[in-house]
Copies of this chain bind each other. A is one copy, B any other.
Amino acid sequence: MSITDEVQAAKQAHPDHPVHSLVTKRWSPYGFSDRPVAPEDLRSLFEAARWAPSSFNEQPWSWIVATKDDAPAFARLLSCLADGNQVWARHAPALALGLVRERLRRNDKPNAAAEHDLGLAAGNLLLEATARDLVVHQMIGILPERARELYALPAGVHALTGYAIGYLGDGAGLPERVRDRDRAARTRRPLAESVFGERWGDPAHLVR
């Protein structure tokens, strides 16, 4: 097995109840290969995101995207990530910022679902990426005000998340403490600590 096969095997989720392989296979690596992502693959990722559901079909999401073949554009987008994320994300072949429109187009009232719905769209993007053997690592550690300035974000739109997109790599160029994260087991709380019935905190019958 190659190092990336070993890592991928170690990162496979072991669910307590059967779930689709696109769920168990997906994880968020720090180590990216330098293999570029074909434009048609990137388009399909955002196309999948586009078909996510959203409250009132507002589609409050938008993205800024840069690929490494355009070095100045890539550097500009990289500079909107927190330092700790730049360390590893600079090795990915494609980067993106996820943005939300804060108010509803229909009546200019606050959209309580805006950030949630960017998450739904990101969920579809991850599904499509996983189906194409691409990996995506999302970040909340970004510099929203730098993004606002560099990309002239209008009032009422803000950057919330970053995305590194590419193929799994062995993390050879990464500091050891970062690379080691790709060898750690994936952990989640048991379902009984998240799915409740009578009261918050009391496990639903379903998951007892």
Contact = CB atoms under 8 A, between A and B. Distances in A.
Contacts of A191: 43, 46-47, 50
Interface string A195-208: 11111110011110
Residue of A40, A115, A126 most packed against chain B (CB within 10 A): A115
Q: How many A residues are at the interface, by size bracket? A: 35 or more
B199 A128 contact: no
Q: How many copies does the complex hold?
A: 2
Contacts of A23: 48, 51, 124, 127-128
Interface string A6-48: 0000000101111110111011100000000001101110111
Interface in A139-169: 139-140, 151-154, 157, 160-161
Nearest to A67: B206
Contacts of A116: 115-116, 118-119, 122, 140, 160-161
Interface in A50-109: 50-53, 55, 57, 59, 61-67, 70, 73, 99
Contacts of A126: 53, 120, 123
Interface of A: 13, 15-20, 22-24, 26-28, 39-40, 42-44, 46-48, 50-53, 55, 57, 59, 61-67, 70, 73, 99, 112-113, 115-124, 126-128, 131, 138-140, 151-154, 157, 160-161, 186-189, 191, 193-201, 204-207
